Every structure is written in C-alpha cells, then in structure tokens.
Chains A and B, each alone.
Chain A
C-alpha cells in the first residue's frame, strides 16, 4: 500500500506539561482516517505539526515522502487542510478568499472556484463579504478552500464544527464522494464518535497525548457493538475511563 502520510515519533511538550508523546502512524492512500479523542487529547497539536504550523520537539512527519520540516513546499503541494478553525478574510468575498488560495497552485481558474463553492453549497453567496457569514458558512468556505486544489490528502480538524445537521450530512457525502471518485485520502479529527463511525474506514484513538490504538472500522465493529464501546475499552486499558 502506498503511504501518503508517515508520522514518526513526534513529541511536543507545552509549558503546562500537556502535549503529545511519541506518536507514530502511517496513513495509506484511500484511507478515511478518523483521529478520535476527547477535547485536549492532543489531536490539534498533532495536526498542527503535520501541517508545519508547529514544530515538534522531536520526530518528523513525511507527506508523500517529503519531510514537513525540511521540504515544506513539496510536502504540502498535494495537501488541503483546515486546522482548529476555518479562517478566512472577513473583508473579502467568498470568491476573493478562494482566489487568494488559488494563487498558490497552477491552473485553478474561476470554473474550479465556482465548482467548489457549488460543492459546499455557498455558490449563491460567492460575492458576499465573509464577515457577514454565519459560523457554518465560514466552515463551508474553509472546506471549499481545503479541496480547491484537488488535493490528494485532506487534513480536517473537527470539520463539523458549526455545521447544522444538514451541513453534517452534506459534509459526510462530500468526503465519501471525493474518496470514491478522486481517491482522496482523508485525515479527520473529531470528538464526535458517531460521526467518525459513519465516515471513517480506519480509526486511531488518541488519549492524554498518546496514540492508544489504530484499527479498521470494520474490524472494530466486528468485535464491539459500537465504536463508543471500543473507545471506552481502549481508554480503560490505558488506565482511564
């Protein structure tokens, strides 16, 4: 299997003693990987390191065989992401925000921008200033920006934040659609167990800054009645409920 993402022993310790410790993980092409853990478990820290927003104390991350620390541009060339919150420039319109992103890639024209706006359901607001958008709409802009360049790997940190039920269902469909049609690999963090169960085909559980288990969803559901039971069991094994 072709490795898309390799996380090798990353550790990051904050001044308050929290952080992540020795996380090792490989993500293969076509995976929809769910990074599951409670708030404060270290999901965002790991994702920030994966996308170069933060430097690890030790370890490295390779995306498409390029180190994020040493070959950042090459590593991020085929990556789209939302980390923590979907940010956009409030004084620009939805279209202008995406135009700004498009300048970092070749051959992304107006057609592609309209296409992703359509995908995310905000095409009719394309000329409106983002500062007037609701949280859910801003999240959609972030998702549109993440998939704009037709990335082969999409990293989404809590992508359902701010979305209503309809938005959540559409988002799930979008992920499935891109995975099926364009073989896009997804790395999705979430604290919503049910959503991860419905969306992801492989799951890693992170707890107290450590990756406690990784398995395929179908294996998990063969052995446990639900992902929630598996989660409780894995966390319990590591000394906490």
Chain B
C-alpha cells in the first residue's frame, strides 16, 4: 500500500504541475460564464423563458458531458500514458520498487481524481452561477438532483477514460490515440443514432444516464442494466490496458 500511495501522490503531483490542468480549469470556468451570460442575455434581452437557477447546472452538465469532459479525460489519459512512453520518463518510475500493477492503478486513480475534480468544479461553479443570476429558484430538491447528476456522471466518463488508456497502451503515438478516440466517439454516437436498438452497448450513449437517477420515477432495472454494462466495460478495458502495460518492454 505504501508503494501505491507513493505512486499515486506522484501522479497527482505531476498532473498538478503540468500546465494542461490549469488550462482545463480555465476553459471550464469560461464555458460556464459564457453559458450563463448567454442564458441571461436571452432572458433579459429577448424576454425568452430559459432555464431557472437550478436548471442551469443540469444544462451545463448535458453540454459538458457531450463535449469538453470526454475531451479533457482523453487529453489527461494521453498525458499520463502516451506522453510518458514517448518522452521515456516512464522508466523513471518503472525502476523503482513498485510493481507495474500498482503503478498502472495509481495512474488510473489519478485520472479518476481529475475527472471527479472537474465534475465537482463545474458543479460548484454552475450552482454558484445559477444562484447568482436567479437566486429565487433555489430548492433543496434541485440541489440534491444536481449533486446526484454530477456524481453519477463520473462512472461513464471514467469508463470512457479506461478505453482511452487501453488505446494509449495499444498505440504508441499520443496524436494517433487522440484521433482514434475522436473517430471512435463519433462512430459510437453515429451507430447509436442509426441503430438505437444497440446504442445501450456503447458507453457514449450512457453519458446522460444521470437522467435515470433524477427522473420522477426511477427505473431500477434500466439503471442496474446500464450500471452493469459500464462496470463490465471498465473491468475489460482495465484488464486489457494493464496486460499491454505489463508486457511493454522499454
């Protein structure tokens, strides 16, 4: 456990010191501000009915989960795996007394912390922004739904990140991984639309599964099915990713 802890703290430390994380935070912040200004402009300028204060975080999440969040997760996974392979810095860690399984798990955990951190940051900013521009709409039920939505969204994004990690260990170049991920994302989305019957097999179509959690009537069976599919995917891609990571000769 000591070795895992050391490897995990190192990954968080390195992630924190890279400029990319700061850029991600700034982009998230700007996206929310622009979104809120847009909503505010529509309402006050044209008198259109838009989202209330506690609908705003949900609106942000639905836009974020389809665009920026998968992109951020992809970039961080590439940074943690592909960039380290290509810059030859992975061997710094591989010759220390820590097993490859612990190192791999520490890297995956760091990606998990990043995803959860971004989700919480976006959640807090959007709640704050919603309250600031529309304070009278505050309800505890709204707050509860917002928190649940953001928390459960972690699972599909993490599974998506595990697929990217697998690709990072399968393909050497980070740029190639990036383009494969984009093509895969568009393909999954496209197949999901053309063949809706099979859409539940793709993790990208589960990005909005938080809606199942906040619906007036919760469909437990559907919830359980989607959860199990995601867990299955996570186990498969973690195992496959680790297999390749462990076999890698440096």
Residue contact B97 to A53, C-beta cutoff 8 Å: no
Residue contact B249 to A83, C-beta cutoff 8 Å: no
Residue contact A100 to B13, C-beta cutoff 8 Å: yes
Task: Output the nearest chain A residue to B246 by Cβ-Cβ distance.
Answer: A55
Residue contact B91 to A87, C-beta cutoff 8 Å: yes
Partner of B89, one of A79, A89, A103: A89
Given contacts A85-B88, A91-B18, A100-B10, contact A72 B249 (CB under 8 A): no
A-B contact count (CB 8 A): 71
Residue contact B97 to A54, C-beta cutoff 8 Å: no
- When each residue 60-84 of chain A gets 1 if its CB lies under 8 Å from chain B and 0 otherwise, what string results? 0000000000001111110101011
Residue contact A87 to B96, C-beta cutoff 8 Å: no
Residue contact B249 to A73, C-beta cutoff 8 Å: no
Given contacts A53-B249, A103-B10, contact A73 B88 (CB under 8 A): no
List, in ascending order, chain B residues with CB within 8 A of A91's CB: 17-19
Given contacts A76-B97, A89-B14, A100-B13, contact A48 B250 (CB under 8 A): yes
Query: Which chain A residues in 128-150 approach chain B with CB under 8 Å?
Result: 145
Task: Output the nearest chain A residue to B101 by Cβ-Cβ distance.
Answer: A72
List, in ascending order, chain B residues with CB within 8 A of A75's CB: 97
Give A107 Cβ to nearest chain B Cβ, in Å. Answer: 12
Residue contact B94 to A52, C-beta cutoff 8 Å: yes
Residue contact A87 to B6, C-beta cutoff 8 Å: no
A161 within 8 Å of B (CB atoms): no
List, in ascending order, chain B residues with CB within 8 A of A103's CB: 5-7, 9-10
Residue contact A51 to B95, C-beta cutoff 8 Å: yes
Give Cα A191 to B53, complex, Å. Answer: 71
Residue contact B17 to A104, C-beta cutoff 8 Å: no
B218 within 8 Å of A (CB atoms): no
Q: Most chain-A Cβ atoms within 10 A of its Cβ — which of B3, B5, B100?
A: B3
Give Cα A74 to B96, complex, Å. Answer: 10
List, in ascending order, chain A residues with CB within 8 A of B250's CB: 48, 53-54
Task: Output the nearest chain A residue to B88 by Cβ-Cβ distance.
Answer: A87
- When each residue 93-108 of chain A gets 1 if its CB lies under 8 Å from chain B and 0 otherwise, what string results? 0001000110111100
List, in ascending order, chain B residues with CB within 8 A of A87's CB: 87-89, 91-92
Q: Most chain-B Cβ atoms within 10 A of its Cβ — which of A76, A101, A103?
A: A103
List, in ascending order, chain B residues with CB within 8 A of A88's CB: 89, 92
Additional A-B contact list (18), CB under 8 Å, known A55-B249, A81-B95: A51-B95, A72-B97, A72-B99, A73-B3, A73-B98, A76-B95, A79-B95, A79-B97, A87-B91, A88-B92, A92-B17, A100-B10, A101-B96, A103-B9, A104-B3, A104-B98, A105-B97, A106-B2
3 A-B pairs with the lowest CB-CB distances in the bound complex, closest first: A103-B6, A76-B97, A54-B249
Q: List 29 A-B contacts (CB under 8 A).
A: A48-B249, A51-B95, A52-B94, A53-B91, A53-B94, A53-B250, A72-B100, A73-B97, A74-B97, A76-B97, A83-B91, A83-B95, A84-B91, A87-B87, A88-B89, A88-B92, A91-B18, A92-B14, A100-B13, A101-B92, A103-B6, A103-B7, A104-B3, A104-B6, A104-B7, A104-B96, A105-B97, A106-B2, A145-B92
